[in-house]
Structure 1
Amino acid sequence: MSTAPGLGRGLSAGIAVLVGALLVLAVSGTARAQDKKMKKMLMQLQEMNQADGYLEAHRDVENPPELLGGPISFTVQQNSGGVFVGLPDKRELDSDVFGTPDMPLAFTGTPGMTGVPVPFRETENGEFTQLDRNTPFGNKSTAMPNGTMMLKAADVTATDAATTEDEVTFKASWEDADGNTYAVRCCEMLATAGPEFPTFGGVVTNHLLHGFSGVGTPLMPTEYTYAAFWGMGAVLKNGEVVDKPRIVHGMLTEYVRTEGYELASDSEVTPTRKHFHLMVAPFMPVQHKFEHDNVSTGFTLPNGKELPFWHVMFENLDIDSERGE
């Protein structure tokens, strides 16, 4: 039986459309399955967070112990000079912190905040090379003028707990090339207990943070930290609040930048210099875990997108401290 030419072409076109639709559905279905598998893996990694037991034992304590030897009060300030603002970049992965593909380290907890899943890591010649996505931690940064900051704090409480005697007053500001002023204020409330790693009542002094320490993201190098805090604060642009509340982290550490202001690996840290880091991360605590949540900074990147975090370094510092009441 013969078929009219027009009808044959119509059938062929219809079959082609049907096959194309089936292929789209198949690809879409595969993508959904992969997405579901990835979400399941990330949830499992969060549940494997190594500090959960320790934090559970401490977060409901109403009368936590004080720091051995008594409280430490300190101020850190920059009255003039510029700042370095971190930009989104792919972090190079230090084998001392992240291990190797055969024996990976630092992969549990919320990705980017507490750990780095192995599927997020690029490899070459049997070694991890860099993260496969941008984060606040990398070699890219830009200088901005008129940076000032003032931190006045006290480290009184020794451990994570439901209450704290620690205290923090923090304010910082800087300007972009167009004269816009950006600022961060903290702390309306301290993070008395950490969601996925200890916060020591909200303020900690003389401790290792980041890197292999398990306290904070391993994407920063392991660094001796003279003082640090975690608390809830606000992000401002030209005097107006653009995001609140946000978790704010600040720390005075040994120097972790190298030539070209690249972010150091552990073996490249400079112990004899200091600088102060301000971090408003694209995460928020939710039920003892972190969830991704971009910061509204009001600063536009060259690609037209908004910078989704603040990672600001201050280096022209005056530091004072004393021990005792």
Structure 2
Amino acid sequence: MTIRKSIAAVSAAGMLAACTNIEADPATAAQNDSPDLVTKQDAGNIVYWVPPGPRKLSPTVFGTAEDPKMTLQPKLQKAQEMVEAGKMPPSVPQLLKDLPILVGVPEKARSQGPDGEQILDQPTPFPNKGQIIEGSFRAEFFDEVDEDTPGKPGETPDSANLTAEFTDPQGNDYKVVLDHVVKPPFPGYQTDGGVMLDDVHHGSTGTGTPLMPQVWSIGALWGIGEVHVNGEVAAKHQVVHLMTTETVRTTDYQLALQEDMPLAPDEWHVKGQPHHTHLIVLPMEGTPEGPVFSPVPTAFELPNGETQPFMHIMFEEDTVER
């Protein structure tokens, strides 16, 4: 697989998004008998719930106040051109306006931190903190293509299985079950058919939110899944992104910037653990007409009295099977 060398302020109710149609094409969703990759973590190991918080902006990715990079307008213009050409769902440009961290950070959303650095001080899913919870997951990756093929987001030969079970810091129970893989239809995204193995994304790659540093990914998937809360089905078509990557959290749970990568072994959050798995359930529902903003119906109450509208779960002691 070729290695590529080269999110308006975000509120607690608006984060990443992906994909559009909710139905997978059976003709392109067949699986091999055995997966190309399995990543998993059994119960009893370290898991974190990540709450909303601010994010420092990497100068490598976002430039400076005088010379900003990874702004919204060029991506928005590209999306509009692709809609006009019939290559992108018509709802995408408005979605990028509502949820810019999918592809960049608008200049007006940036402020200066205490040390002179640029920050996005509105709530994002990428703060330097997390709270210990209980959980487990198993993901199976079936990688058939190394590029995003033409057609609707659900039309891909790639497929995956994913089941994750976990709690939140207030003791509520959750289960996330993947229904099918999709190719997120956003300008610049290259997801290798919705299942990516042994490649890089995020950071300045153009694929995934640039608020995460560029990471070497053992396995990543994008899809639509079902969310269960306290034993009840709460959402049937929520957007899901899972990736098993090199470690990007330090010993004190700081989320690395792109220029900090790769972290040295003595900086890894868990000693001797060079990789971990990120599960993000996004405030977005896939529909036949296009992506629709839909907060994840969690039961976790934030200090402002509202419930957290996304889930970012970090499995810190995962294992990988080829």
TM-score past 0.5 threshold? yes
Q: CA RMSD in A?
A: 2.7
**Paired position in structure 2 for 1:295:** 296
The separation in 2 between residues aligned to 1:314 and 1:131, in whole angstroms, is 25
Please give the secondary structure, in 1, of the residue aligned with 2:204: helix
Answering whether residue 197 of structure 2 is matched by residue 202 of structure 1, we say no
Q: Does 1:134 align with 2:110?
A: no
Letter in 2 for 1:95: P
**One-letter code aligned to 2:148:** D
| Aligned residues with identical type, % of pairs | 34
CA distance in 1, matches of 2:197, 2:231: 31
Whether contact under 8 Å (2:58, 2:259) holds in the other structure is no
Match in the other structure for 1:43:
none
Assess, with a 3 A threshold, how the Cα gap between structure 1 residues 126 and 298 changes in structure 2: closer, same or farther.
closer
Q: Which residue of 2 aligns with 1:218?
A: 210
Amino acid at match of 1:157: V
- Contact preservation (8 Å) 2:237, 2:285: no
- 1:282 shift after superposition: 2.4
Write the distance in 2 (CA, Å) between the matches of 1:268 and 1:275. Answer: 17
- 1:43-64 deviation digits (Å, cap 9, x = unpaired): xxxxxxxxxxxxxxxxxxx99x
The Cα offsets for residues 65-114 of structure 1, whole Å up to 9 and x where unpaired, read as xxxxxx97011111122311111001011101110112111112421111
Match of 2:315 in 1: 314
Q: Which structure has greater helix proportion?
A: 1
Task: Please name the residue that 2:41 is paired with.
Answer: 78
The separation in 2 between residues aligned to 1:226 and 1:99, in whole angstroms, is 28
Quick check: 1:193–1:200 contact (8 Å CA) kept in 2? no
- Offset of 1:284 from its aligned partner? 4.7
- Aligned-partner residue type, residue 293 of structure 1: S
CA-to-aligned-CA distance 1:121-177 (integer Å, 9 cap, x gap) = 0026995421031111111321112x1101011111121123322121101111235
- Change beyond 3 A, Cα 1:243–1:261: same
Question: By how many angstroms is 1:239 displaced?
Answer: 2.0
Q: Aligned runs of 1:84-103 on 2, under 5 Å? A: 84-103=48-67
SS at match of 1:119: helix
The answer to whether the 8 Å contact 1:195/1:288 transfers is no
Q: In 2, Cα distance between the equivalents of 1:309 and 1:93? A: 21
Report Cα offsets for 1:277-314 as digits up to 9, x if no partner.
00112245689986643221222224321011011000
Structure scoring higher RCO (CA < 8 A, sep ≥ 6) equals 2
CA–CA separation in structure 2 for the residues paired with 1:82 and 1:241: 26
CA offsets per residue over residues 179-237 of structure 1, 9 Å max, x none? 42112110x22113533322221101111111111110001111111110001001111
Gapped regions of structure 2 (runs ≥ 5) = 1-7, 9-26, 29-33, 76-95, 266-273
The letter of the residue matching 1:213 is: T
Q: Among residues 208, 218, 243, which one is paired with 2:235 in the alignment?
A: 243
Return closer, same or farther for 1:265/1:290 CA change in 2, 3 Å cut-off. farther
Q: Scaled by the length of structure 2, what TM-score is found?
A: 0.71
SS in 1 for 2:252: helix
Out of 149, 159, 164, the position equivalent to 2:147 is 159
